[in-house]
């Protein structure tokens, strides 16, 4: 008989209440270039959280507006503080509630997922390219093809306490997207 872990590799983590999803608003956001000091979609592991964040998946869904051909990447901030504050690297962060992937367990995330961040000391740098590209369409396009825009990590992206990533573009003129970011929170002890 097969075990749940053999069938679904993240089942045990989900059952322990360590997997969470952050969702971008249905209306979507225009993802800025990775080096912008105003970011739209971020995952922040505050100093002192006691957890490593293991990125699992990013999924993006086109909403509207015309953008230029470009790709998506992770912008990385290596000096994210414990909280927002004047003179710190993150001075504003609009946190959006994340959802536990094990419903009914009463689990809550230590990570901060949000839409809208202001970074003042340093801008993010490219952590990695995702290999996801934007197809240039307009909302009025009548022959739009269907496509998937999803990146699944293989356990190689970890956010230690005091770091943050932002889903961004390698250029500044992307279309409006909604989507989800999924991560696991693993105890450092």
Secondary structure of 40-94 in the HEC alphabet? EEEEEECCCCCEEEEEEEEEEEEEECCCCCEEEEEEEECCCCCCCCCCCCEEEEE
Band (pLDDT 50/70/90 cuts) for residue 104 is confident
pLDDT of residue 86: 84
Using CA atoms of 180, 47, 36, 62 in order, give the dihedral in degrees to the nearest 10: 0
Q: For 105-117, write each residue's pLDDT tens digit.
A: 889 999 999 998 8
For 107-131, b/e burial (b = at least 16 CB within 10 A) is: bebebbbbbebebeeebbeebeebe
Local structure of 182: helix, strand or coil = strand
Q: For 52-94, write each residue's pLDDT tens digit.
A: 999 999 999 888 877 777 889 999 999 999 999 888 899 999 9
Q: For 13-49, write each residue's pLDDT tens digit.
A: 999 999 999 999 999 999 899 999 999 999 999 999 9
Closest CA to 40 of 17, 10, 63: 63
| CA pair distance 69, 52, nearest whole angstrom | 34
């Amino acid at each position: 008989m097969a075990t749940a872990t053999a069938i679904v590799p993240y089942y045990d983590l989900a059952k322990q209440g360590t997997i969470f999803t952050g969702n971008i608003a249905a209306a979507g956001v225009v993802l800025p270039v990775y080096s912008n000091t105003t970011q739209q979609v971020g995952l922040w592991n505050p100093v002192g959280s006691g957890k490593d964040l293991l990125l699992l998946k990013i999924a993006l869904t086109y909403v509207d507006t015309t953008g230029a051909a470009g790709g998506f990447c992770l912008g990385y901030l290596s000096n994210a503080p414990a909280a927002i504050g004047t003179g710190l690297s993150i001075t504003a962060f609009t946190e959006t509630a994340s959802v536990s992937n094990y419903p009914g367990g009463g689990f809550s995330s230590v990570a901060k997922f949000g839409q809208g961040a202001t970074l003042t000391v340093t801008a993010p740098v490219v952590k990695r390219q995702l290999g996801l590209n934007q197809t240039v369409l307009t909302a009025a396009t009548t022959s739009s093809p269907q496509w998937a825009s999803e990146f699944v990590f293989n356990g190689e992206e970890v956010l230690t306490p005091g770091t943050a990533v932002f889903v961004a573009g390698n250029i500044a003129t992307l279309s409006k997207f909604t989507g989800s970011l999924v991560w696991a929170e693993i105890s450092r002890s």
